Structure 1
């Protein structure tokens, strides 16, 4: 693990040098330079905002319900939607789903998820989607039975040749249609020959992806996005850092799709996903993200946007700055923050601070657009940036805040 951390630090320093800074202590996130890959009409790459995506859990054969699931995700803010296609029938159903979505006015890019020996499925579904996701560990999937210590060099190379000949037609069709490919490695489904050669390690995950990347490169196909997902956060972090380092070292500047797979549900699932995704984004690694929760898919989207906003990478909602409350607090801070949030949460692009007292309030909220501060008992001071604008009775505080935002032309009525 120490070696992986060292690689990450070296890679981050290289990124900073490329963008013209040697500082290790500034507040700017310098994204790893990656090429732009179009997924439908959505660009993914370091020159574009980080894209939020998810996956429906409806059966793709259920056309109506699958379409409704996609619509719910899009309405929640999802920008790319993945659907599972385990059979030819499922692949054909995606065409009907796409037609139904068009009728409803939804133009979201679709991604087909391909697994066991899925080349025929991939060739069919490619006519209906914008991106295909393959799992290298399952692309050539034989029944278990080969013992890891039975792999000879000839057997290893034979399977590699089978992969190449099976994979090439898909790559050529992707190139002809100018569509995208996600090489999606999962730690839990590494191919047996990778396990034999590299062990159950981040290196095995990286080499699994690199085998497919090199085939694509030989065919001059570059619409590639890569993921290195694991259910254990430390493995996921190490794998992505090593993947970014390896690709950059070999000149493959492909975007990375970040995620902790099978993160679970509730607070822990959200915390676990954030623990994996946020450090990589802070290091400049990652161009699209998915938070994988065991909940309704649309509940993943707010978590994604919260991660991005907390790092300053996207501004999609109000940023609330609020102190934790203490003995100096001059009003019920939790209650007031709730009232302010209810009144303003539909806005975008604003920072609003709710601070309990005058001691720390003006200083700690200095970066906020607006401040709501307990001045004296029963009195609220409203700020625009660092400037105190007016004092009002506490009972009028939220209404006065809304009026101040309206005066500045930054208010929109909720839908």
Structure 2
């Protein structure tokens, strides 16, 4: 018996170790949740989403903002609905989009005491997002010292009473729900009970998850957003462990909220989102930048492509340049990118010399490598195809791709 247990334990350890050193990301297994016609879950590509910043009451402006996101490649678009008027406007927005041939799924963001708003907007969207910390919202009491068990449970009953009608509507219409926890807006009773912690965030979500389970509703996606990446990482890891331990295999929506703008906003978002994706966590992502929403989409696709989770653009492999480089590598890389960036599914390498070039670019489909001063070698995979003058290098690379039938003309 002991030997059998030891062998089983060793097998489990070996499996975990092999996965840790594997070059393939092993995604956490989840159920599939449909948002319109976009599936979210571990059996499907990680979906990309964003949120417009136009006022929802501005029908024309909101439609234009959603179209810009959809045209940029956004697969799910969220819209804020802070009032009943905003909720009703979603009907006009959806109708206008569909009349224009835009079928991108829509998500309504509902916050403070928003059950009436949620019930109205559910008619017009594919998913409703609620914030557990604000769904039943009471103004914090500055004189409060703690919450008794009775007070805690009484608020829980209020939540269930308010939440159940929304669940029934979503279930009847076969629509989805995002339980979206924000670190900065935990309910007062959660803060007193669990502190301003990842545990408090997880318990906020789990209260709603368990209510959905009681009502036999399972079209759920969950997010655990924070403005600090370490908090976000801890919350998502704990959330995934808690869900799986209790048998709730729901997809996760990843994001670092309020990441800012520019390089730092992109780096901060990538630090949180990519870390979790590499661990196999996450089924849909949103990069939150203080910029035009459509600028978030290339960052999402770049994260997914860098991890090998989606192939939506050309992957460029380029050495950092050194004293052996035989041409202006940065300039040539830009020329190659300008000529080929409209293609998809290719890996193209631009390497400064043959010392490391052919080896370092071995996984690329095509290579542009400095051979000798003024001469370029073109590769297909590991095979050197031809040598051409540097002045003809980019044209020759394009011709090689055309010869292989992998070229399409830019739009």
Bin for the TM-score computed over the shorter chain: over 0.9
1:10 matched residue in structure 2:
none
**1:127 aligns to 2:123 (yes or no):** yes
1:23, 1:152 → 2: CA distance? 45
After TM superposition, give the deviation of residue 25 of structure 1 in Å.
Answer: 1.1
**1:295 aligns to 2:285 (yes or no):** no
After TM superposition, give the deviation of residue 148 of structure 1 in Å.
Answer: 4.6
1:378, 1:27 → 2: CA distance? 37
1:356 matched residue in structure 2:
352
**1:49 aligns to 2:17 (yes or no):** no
After TM superposition, give the deviation of residue 276 of structure 1 in Å.
Answer: 0.2
Q: Is the 8 A contact 1:113 1:132 kept in 2?
A: yes
1:83 matched residue in structure 2:
79
After TM superposition, give the deviation of residue 23 of structure 1 in Å.
Answer: 3.9
> What does 1:363-382 correspond to in 2, within 5 Å?
363-382=359-378
SS of residue paired to 1:220: coil
1:120, 1:361 → 2: CA distance? 62
Match of 2:70 among 62, 67, 74: 74
> What does 1:98-247 correspond to in 2, within 5 Å?
98-145=94-141, 147-247=143-243
After TM superposition, give the deviation of residue 144 of structure 1 in Å.
Answer: 2.2
Q: Is the 8 A contact 1:148 1:196 kept in 2?
A: no
1:59 matched residue in structure 2:
55
1:138, 1:392 → 2: CA distance? 65
**1:399 aligns to 2:399 (yes or no):** no
2:410 matched residue in structure 1:
414
**1:270 aligns to 2:266 (yes or no):** yes
After TM superposition, give the deviation of residue 177 of structure 1 in Å.
Answer: 0.4
Q: Is the 8 A contact 1:148 1:195 kept in 2?
A: no
After TM superposition, give the deviation of residue 147 of structure 1 in Å.
Answer: 4.2
SS of residue paired to 2:294: helix
After TM superposition, give the deviation of residue 24 of structure 1 in Å.
Answer: 2.5
Could you say if the C-alpha distance between residues 148 and 244 of structure 1 is closer, same or farther in structure 2, counting changes exceeding 3 Å?
A: farther
Q: Is the 8 A contact 1:112 1:133 kept in 2?
A: yes
Q: Is the 8 A contact 1:131 1:180 kept in 2?
A: yes
Could you say if the C-alpha distance between residues 166 and 72 of structure 1 is closer, same or farther in structure 2, counting changes exceeding 3 Å?
A: same
Question: What do residues 139-160 of structure 1 show as CA deviations (whole Å, max 9, x unaligned)?
Answer: 0111222645231111111000
Could you say if the C-alpha distance between residues 204 and 147 of structure 1 is closer, same or farther in structure 2, counting changes exceeding 3 Å?
A: farther
After TM superposition, give the deviation of residue 88 of structure 1 in Å.
Answer: 0.5
**1:97 aligns to 2:93 (yes or no):** yes
2:8 matched residue in structure 1:
none
1:383, 1:146 → 2: CA distance? 69
After TM superposition, give the deviation of residue 26 of structure 1 in Å.
Answer: 1.4
Q: Which runs of 5+ in 2 are unaligned?
A: 1-10
Q: Is the 8 A contact 2:364 2:381 kept in 1?
A: yes
Q: Is the 8 A contact 1:382 1:401 kept in 2?
A: yes
